[in-house]
Structure 1
Amino acid sequence: MSRTKRLLIICGSVLTVLSLLVGGAFLWLWTSAEVHTLGEEPFDNALAIPPLAESRVDKDGTRVFDLRMQAGQKEFREGRKTRTWGFNGDYLGPTLRAERGEKVRVRVRNDLNEPSTVHWHGMHLPAKADGGPHQMVAAGATWAPQWTIDQPAASLWYHPHPHGATEKHVQRGLAGMFILDDDASERLALPKRYGIDDLPLIVQDVKFDGADFDHGRGMMQEAGFLGERTMVNGTLSPYREINDERVRLRLLNASTARTYNFGFSDDRTFDLIGTDGGLLERPSSLKRIQLSPGERAETVVTMRPGERTVLRSFPQDNYGDAWQERFNGGDDSFDVLQLRAAERLRPSPELPAELGELELPDGSEAVRGRHFDLKRSGINGRAMAMDRVDETVTRGTTETWTVRNTNGMPHNFHVHDVQFRVLEVNGKTPPVELRGPKDTVFVPNGTTMKLAMRFEGPADPDTPYMYHCHLLYHEDQGMMGQFVVVEKGQQAGRPGGHQH
């Protein structure tokens, strides 16, 4: 009996120690998963503004840009260089700018040591010019897509889209803005002096490992890579001197997995004037705007002389359960950018009460509906296949797409070529931040969204566009499908295989 008792005591002690170790490890994992930089940023680096890309106009009126994908090094931290990729430089790329009605051609040269692509995110253009995984640019090769700008003024962007490697290519620095202008927006009294009272803000989260970025996913991070700091336009701990009463912030979430909930440290209101694909019908006063990877928002902030405020990302509570919020970034918070108003500010006009009419279908003319179930294993139960057309749509028609996430984790949904209208969120009228032109939407767990979109073509049965989760780890793992636009009665062709 004494021997049995000793064995029981020993076994009990071992189990107790193991339980304490497991419990302690879990507690450490839980507490260390939350990231916040509130009050920790010194804001000692002036915000870099991406230069406007140079261009020329050919005899036929085509505006021509040149982009070169290249490797380089950049000193994000004083005295320490990090290996990077960029367009026409060491990191990120210049801002391309064109007007509605212009013909444009972008000559893309790939000077990297591996194939890549350049996708024009949010742009309406022919499928062969889209820059998806079917338009790979081999190392040392040049690709020169051409199209006519035929959509309203908007803040779009460009980034690589190689199948299975998009996350890595974007993380290394291949991204830039593409701003569209039109006559209607030019007539509005909005801040529009680029780099002065109209600022592009490319927001990314990062980690460093010596001379390289650290792109490793932490334990339980099912959303993808989540960094421990943010930077804007490639600037860590940035500040910006403001000399005008009102400043326009073109926010782009260029992170690969992190969703931000933007607001200001003093909880001030700001005016939302535009979403992914252009201006709203009228400005809306908000204190928070949530942007998942790929989404954009145009905001106008009113400043008072001599004051300072910090653009901040606040915790979020719509990722799913507490486990998802903690390990996929919902509990995290960041100080992103400090705005410093001068002692004297140039006066700015009041914002217009009306910004214009939306060029979006309202769903009343939809000829059919489609449903898309979002899961890590694939969309509608199928992982991406380069040689399979998943959906065929008819040129000139309107459809409603219903997107549902019951996967227990956050996802979002991006459709190439079109801007859509969000008709419903869980059967209800969408909030104001989802009432403008959209090409990407955050779809938290337990959410169903109904979208209306019109397919203008041109028809191309052999070259598909993509729809996918823009959490790029999910995209690379197969959360993507393909659709082609055809003429009435035409059948889909068979797209080419994976060239990467």
Structure 2
Amino acid sequence: MPRATSVRPFSLYASLVVLALAGCANHSENEPVSQPLRKNPEFSYDASGVTHATLTAAEQQVNVGNERYVSLVFNGDYDSPLIRTRPGGTMAIRLDNRMDEITNLHFHGMQVSPLDTGDNIFRITRPHQVGEYNVKLPMAHSPGAYWYHSHFHGGSQRQVSAGIAGPILVDGMLDPFPELKGIKEQVLVLRNFQKTLTGKVASEIITSAPSIRTVNGQEVPTIDIKPGETQLWHFINIAANQYFRIRINGQTMQILSRDGNTVTRRVDDDEVLIGPSARFSVLVVGPPAGSYNIESGDADTGPAGDSYPAARLAILRSSGQPVATRQITSAYPPAEDFSKQAVNKTRQFVFQDSATDSSAFLINGTRFELDRVNTTVKLGDVEEWRLLNPSQELHQFHIHQVDFQVTEINGKPVQFSGYRDNVFIPATGSITVRIPFRDPVILGKFVYHCHILEHEDGGMMQAIQVVRPVNYEQAVKLEPLGGLYGENNQLCTYLRNTGQDPKTSSPLVPSAK
């Protein structure tokens, strides 16, 4: 991966506690006036629980922060629409592709069907055609913050970086805590846009190049709060590759949810490291009257990775009459601790950079192939996966359709506080997770991969199929042919029909105008 000129070693532990701090916000006369945080355009559900939304993907001129670029965006705005749903609800999404390239949608972190018109990343919508998604959430679906984004292999990094991504909220996170009913919620969508000299989205992404970091499409917006007021903030990182290490100067955040999973006990921290695809929902209490910086600290993903300079992301403005602070007094929702259970199968996966090709990234020595399945799992099993990273840079593990429990980091036990759907594997380190493949809704074929999208597009992804035990032997035999669900692979068929090799998954680029 390309490197910046200034490099600092990244450590799993040191990176979480080292931060370049600034004091309360000091604004010079030449500094642009900070604008109030804008709310995302929103699609919400009707009385029957169905959210109808049209996402129109097109290349056009938009504001990215305080600058003007031609980019790929949804509905004419770099600040993509928020899709709001609820457990048991349905997202009826119409993807109107007005771009000159294929695209598709993945509903990140959601435990929904990966088949047919559901969360099927092997489907595509061709240029200037319309794709329909009908995603049904189980009644037991966890409330919280999620997101949607392009996920076709070879093009996800470029499209997500450009703007083909947006936030999702599943309502109900505060239901277990009636004492917090009615508090203000803020959706804070984090992303970065690579600066170019052409005024258009970059055709090739250089991760360490200068970029514009935005919150809801804005550069350094102002978020208002009253002294003592309790607010719920949803940080949603929809950047393709960027890590955000968030701190509110002088404030502690109470973490309520990670990756759409409510924690099982009180967790406080003065900063949160939010990797690509991660979401943190935190309780923030208004400080004494004044302005306070919300910052992203400098970070480095290792000697072979990328470094990100510290930056101010937003301003917290506390003003008005003080109000009473709301505190959690109810019990946290319980969750099953899988570290105390026997597992049905143990697997090991090595996430590694290629020694011979700087653009290639591997799992267990192989690059992703669209027309094969790498892992077959029996529905009902709980598996333990050991994720090894011999690379000199970290990797961001994510698996579709299911959540998991982190049980060890570098061989040391982790105290249980809830589930995740992504976690970074330290450079030259390891993570151990336990994954329950229990819900029949996940039957089908999906993927696990590094969510640094440069790495995913470079091949650090594999396909997994969850099958009923009675179909297990047959499914294993069909792995080299795409598994039991190979017929759903529209992307593989498209690449073959357009003369591209699905085994190398050559990136698709826009046609010349």
TM range (shorter): 0.7 to 0.9
8 Å CA contact 2:112, 2:442 repeated in 1? no
2:425 corresponds to which residue? 443
| Partner of residue 4, structure 1 | none
Deviation at 1:489, TM superposition (A): 3.0
- Of 239, 260, 267, which aligns to 2:222? 239
Matched, 1:71 2:49: no
Give 1:182 deviation, angstroms.
3.4
Match of 1:252 in 2: 236
* Structure 1: gaps spanning 5 or more residues: 1-27, 219-223
| Residues in 1 aligned to 2:186 and 2:467: alpha-carbon distance in whole angstroms | 39
Matched AA of 2:367: A
| Aligned amino acid, residue 409 of structure 1 | E
Following TM superposition, by how much is the alpha carbon of 1:43 offset from its aligned partner in structure 2, in angstroms?
A: 5.8
1:153-164 residue pairs with structure 2 within 5 A? 153-164=143-154
| Secondary structure, counterpart of 1:212 in structure 2 | coil
Query: Residue 298 and residue 215 in structure 1: after superposition, are their counterparts in 2 closer, same or farther (change >3 A)?
Result: farther
Aligned pair count reads 452
- Residues 236-273 of structure 1, C-alpha deviations (whole Å, 9 max, x = no match): 1222222471222211122221222211233x322111
Q: Which residue identity does 1:437 align to in structure 2?
A: Y
* Alignment of structure 1 residues 217-236 onto 2, 5 Å: 217-218=205-206, 224=207, 227-236=210-219
Q: Is the 8 A contact 1:132 1:162 kept in 2?
A: no
What's 2:100 paired with?
113
Do the aligned residues in 2 keep the contact of 1:37 with 1:335 (CA within 8 Å)?
Answer: no
Q: Which amino acid aligns with 2:446?
A: Y
- Deviation sequence 1:285-320 (CA, Å, 0-9, x none): 211211110011111111134222111122346x34
Please tell me whether residue 476 in structure 1 is matched to residue 460 in structure 2: no
**Amino acid in structure 2 at the alignment position of 1:479:** M
Secondary structure of residue in 1 paired with 2:92 = strand
Does residue 296 in structure 1 map to residue 285 in structure 2? no
- Report the CA distance shift for 1:363/1:143 in structure 2 as closer, same or farther (over 3 A): farther
| Contact 2:177-2:330 at 8 Å conserved across structures | no
Please tell me whether residue 352 in structure 1 is matched to residue 329 in structure 2.
yes
Q: Taking structure 1 as reference, are residues 460 and 189 closer, same or farther at Cα in structure 2, changes over 3 Å only?
A: closer
* Aligned: 1:44 with 2:22: no
Q: Residue 103 of structure 2 aligns to a residue in which SS?
A: coil
Question: Aligned to 1:474, what secondary structure does the other structure show?
Answer: helix
Segment drifting more, 68-77 vs 234-243: 68-77
Report the alpha carbon displacement of residue 426 of structure 1 after superposing the two structures with TM.
Answer: 1.6
Distance 1:310 1:230, change over 3 A: same
Q: How does 1:68-467 map to 2 (within 5 A)?
A: 68-76=56-64, 81-128=68-115, 129=117, 131-139=119-127, 140-149=129-138, 150-182=140-172, 185=175, 187-190=177-180, 197-209=184-196, 210-214=198-202, 217-218=205-206, 224=207, 227-243=210-226, 245-266=229-250, 268-316=251-299, 319-320=301-302, 323-324=303-304, 328-329=306-307, 332-352=309-329, 354-358=331-335, 361-362=338-339, 364-376=341-353, 377-430=361-414, 435-458=417-440, 463-467=444-448
Q: Which sections of structure 2, spanning at least 5 residues, go unmatched? A: 10-19, 354-360, 496-513
CA contact (8 A) 2:57 2:72 kept: yes
Report the residue type matching 1:136 in the other structure: I
Which stretch of structure 1 is more off in the superposition, 199-208 or 387-396?
199-208
* Separation in structure 1 between the aligned mates of residue 375 and residue 440 of structure 2, nearest angstrom: 16
Are 1:499 and 2:494 matched, yes or no?
Answer: yes
Shift of 1:62: 4.3
- Partner letter of residue 433 of structure 2? L
- Cα distance in structure 2, aligned partners of 1:112 and 1:294: 24
1:4-42 deviations in Å (ceiling 9; x for gaps): xxxxxxxxxxxxxxxxxxxxxxxx944899xx9978975
Between the aligned residues of both structures, percent identity stands at 23
Specify whether residues 361 and 52 from structure 1 end up closer, same or farther in structure 2 by C-alpha distance, changes over 3 A only.
Answer: farther
- The separation in 2 between residues aligned to 1:474 and 1:402, in whole angstroms, is 19
Task: Answer with 392-401 or 225-234: which moved more.
Answer: 225-234
Equivalent residue number for residue 221 of structure 1: none
Worse overlay, 125-134 or 397-406:
125-134
Query: Can you list the C-alpha shifts for 1:431-478, whole angstroms capped at 9, x where unaligned?
Result: 67xx322001011202211111111354787x5211000000000010
Q: Is the 8 A contact 1:276 1:438 kept in 2?
A: yes
Shift of the 358–141 alpha-carbon distance from structure 1 to 2, 3 Å rule, reads: same
- Report if aligned partners of 2:144, 2:260 keep a CA contact under 8 Å in 1: yes
Cα RMSD, aligned residues only: 3.0
Higher-Rg structure is 1
Structure 2 vs 1, CA of residues 206 and 148 (structure 1 numbering), >3 Å: closer, same or farther? closer
Secondary structure of 1:141 counterpart: strand
Match of residue 15 from structure 1: none
- Residues 215 and 260 of structure 1: CA distance in aligned 2, closer, same or farther (over 3 Å): farther
> Would the alpha carbon gap of residues 353 and 316 (structure 1) be closer, same or farther in structure 2, given more than 3 Å must change?
farther
- When structure 1 is superposed on structure 2, of 133-142 and 47-56 the one drifting more is 47-56
- Pair 449,302 (structure 1): closer, same or farther in 2 beyond 3 Å: same
TM-score, length basis structure 1: 0.82
